[in-house]
């Protein structure tokens, strides 16, 4: 990308960032500002859902969220992993049931934001308890608070409700999408996918849309190789593809069509619901809902589409019925530019983002040191942390939500999350200094439960070389003392 275009793009996105903040403030202060009717988060289980509720309630108590919006957190039913599509069916069931009366279309006249955030965060283990959704973003908000992905979603999407009459916007909870809502034309029937141009090297790890020539999705290509993407004609002359950002808008008619799959006489049918929402079928929002919307897709190809779980007869039956209900709808391709796609996917991506590539996002006021006592010129990153002047932190490391006193030594290229090295920790480890130095590439985080007096503490100590999802072990050694693995 040439320097002049990059500069113009950054100026545009910075102004869009500022405009989104203004919309967010108006949503808090003006009763006539058009807001979301529902903001719904999905969670993997009730424990994760409770963490989300606590985060939302804290923001409501501090008047940081519009109080006329209904905030809901829905865990996967019975703690079973039902897939992102199953979680979406759960959202539809909730909205129909909370309505209280039978309607022709439960979704007409409602503006609904759904953030799928029920992952285990295996590739960023320090967020496995609370999910990536409330993980830090390296900037201080204009109100002085440290930002999180959730806050960025709320701020960035504040201007969307005024742009469309009704429907549901679905977002992926580990992707930050920067664009201006004024770029989007919401005149569509069925669904619309928000896409941006990204290099094919990025596209091969995500979903890619193939434009049919009329700005509708002809084919949906999910995690295909570079060679296959080129063969299918998805790569333009500059080596870019139309990336699936995870942001999809569905109108009320398509939502009602999905609801018919889990209802009888327009009332939730538990038998039908559990046919689609279970850990065996594991319906995927992206693979199972979007694929039939592509104009050139076929039922035979749909049956072969890689599932979120595994191939089984139950999944085939579900796909047959989904195809019958959705294939007559289409998906408009909304390619926004300028725009930015930031994926919080792996530990390595996170570390690179907050240390080596942070200057690329200076135009967004992102920086290495956020709400901390650490000077800006240090060669490591710190977020919402106190670090003693006598502590030693290696170059390229990242400290978040932590308290490090004298004598603490952290090696290079490590991530320290939610760790407090103070009196309680000294007693626990039986030492006055705490050292992590495993030639770097280490992530250490605390999980506390039952209160410190009960010492129900687990230390997660994982490596992220070669993008491992997890390296499990029975125990880890910190400063020569054995610490149980989480």
- CA–CA separation, 318 and 284 (whole Å): 11
What is the per-residue DSSP string for 111-166? EEEEEE-----TTSGGGTTT-GGG-EEEEE-TTSPEEEHHHHHHHHTTTSGGG-SS
Output the pLDDT for position 432. 37
- CA–CA separation, 305 and 299 (whole Å): 10
- CA–CA separation, 410 and 416 (whole Å): 8
Output the pLDDT for position 446. 55
Domain boundaries defined on the chain: 3-336, 357-484
Contact in structure between 277 and 77 (CB atoms under 8 Å): yes
Output the pLDDT for position 430. 33
Contact in structure between 222 and 207 (CB atoms under 8 Å): yes
- Say which residues have a Cβ less than 8 Å from residue 15's Cβ, sequence separation at least 6: none
Question: Which residue ranges in the chain fall short of pLDDT 70?
Answer: 1, 118-122, 129, 422-486
- CA–CA separation, 436 and 97 (whole Å): 51
Question: Helix, strand, coil shares of the chain as percentages rounded to 5?
Answer: 35, 25, 40
Output the pLDDT for position 422. 63
Produce one character per residue of 224-259: b if its CB has 16 or more CB atoms within 10 Å, e if not: bebeebeeeebbeeeebbbbbbbbbbbbbebbbbbb
- CA–CA separation, 91 and 25 (whole Å): 28
Q: What is the distance in angstroms between the CA of the first residue and the CA of the last residue of the chain? A: 43
- CA–CA separation, 314 and 162 (whole Å): 40
Output the pLDDT for position 459. 54
Output the pLDDT for position 450. 40
Output the pLDDT for position 393. 92
Output the pLDDT for position 70. 98
∠ Cα 240 243 244 (to 5°): 170
């Amino acid at each position: 990308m040439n320097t002049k275009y990059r500069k113009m793009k950054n100026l545009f996105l910075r102004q869009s960032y500022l405009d989104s903040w203004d919309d967010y403030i108006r949503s808090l202060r003006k009763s006539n500002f058009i807001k979301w009717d529902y903001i719904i988060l999905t969670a993997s289980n009730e424990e994760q859902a409770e963490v989300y509720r606590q985060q939302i309630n804290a923001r409501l108590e501090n008047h940081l969220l519009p109080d006329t919006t209904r905030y809901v957190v829905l865990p996967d039913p019975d703690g079973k992993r039902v897939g992102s599509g199953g979680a979406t069916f759960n959202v539809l069931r909730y909205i129909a049931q909370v309505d209280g009366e039978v309607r022709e279309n439960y979704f007409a006249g409602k503006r609904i934001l759904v953030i799928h955030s029920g992952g285990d965060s295996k590739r960023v283990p320090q967020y496995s308890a609370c999910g990536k959704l409330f993980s830090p973003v390296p900037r201080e908000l204009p109100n002085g608070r440290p930002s999180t992905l959730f806050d960025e979603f709320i701020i960035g999407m504040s201007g969307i409700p005024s742009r469309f009459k009704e429907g549901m916007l679905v977002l992926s909870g580990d992707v930050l999408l920067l664009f201006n809502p004024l770029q989007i034309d919401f005149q569509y029937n069925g669904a619309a996918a928000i896409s941006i141009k990204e290099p094919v090297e990025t596209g091969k790890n995500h979903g890619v849309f193939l434009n049919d020539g009329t700005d509708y999705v002809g084919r949906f290509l999910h995690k295909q190789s570079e060679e296959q993407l080129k063969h299918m004609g998805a790569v333009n002359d500059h080596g870019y593809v139309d990336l699936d950002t995870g942001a999809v808008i569905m109108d009320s008619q398509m939502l009602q069509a999905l609801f018919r799959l889990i209802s009888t006489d327009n009332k939730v049918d538990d038998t039908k619901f559990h046919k689609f929402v279970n850990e065996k079928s594991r319906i995927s929002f992206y693979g199972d809902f979007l694929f039939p919307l592509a104009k050139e897709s076929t039922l035979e190809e749909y049956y072969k589409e890689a599932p979120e779980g595994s191939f089984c007869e139950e999944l085939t039956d579900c796909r047959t019925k989904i195809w019958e209900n959705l294939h007559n709808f289409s998906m408009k391709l909304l390619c926004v530019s300028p725009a930015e796609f930031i994926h919080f996917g792996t530990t390595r991506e996170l570390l690179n983002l907050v240390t080596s590539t942070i200057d690329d996002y200076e135009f967004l006021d992102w920086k290495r040191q956020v709400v901390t006592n650490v000077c800006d010129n240090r060669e490591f990153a710190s977020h919402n942390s106190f670090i003693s002047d006598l502590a030693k932190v290696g170059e390229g490391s990242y400290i978040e939500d932590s308290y490090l006193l004298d004598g603490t030594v952290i090696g290079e290229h490590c991530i320290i999350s939610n760790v407090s090295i103070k009196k309680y920790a000294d007693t626990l480890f039986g030492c006055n200094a705490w050292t992590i130095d495993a030639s770097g590439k280490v992530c250490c985080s605390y999980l506390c439960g039952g209160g410190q007096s009960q010492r129900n503490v687990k230390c997660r100590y994982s490596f992220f070389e070669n993008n491992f999802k997890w390296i499990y072990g029975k125990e880890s050694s910190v400063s020569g003392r054995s610490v149980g693995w989480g």
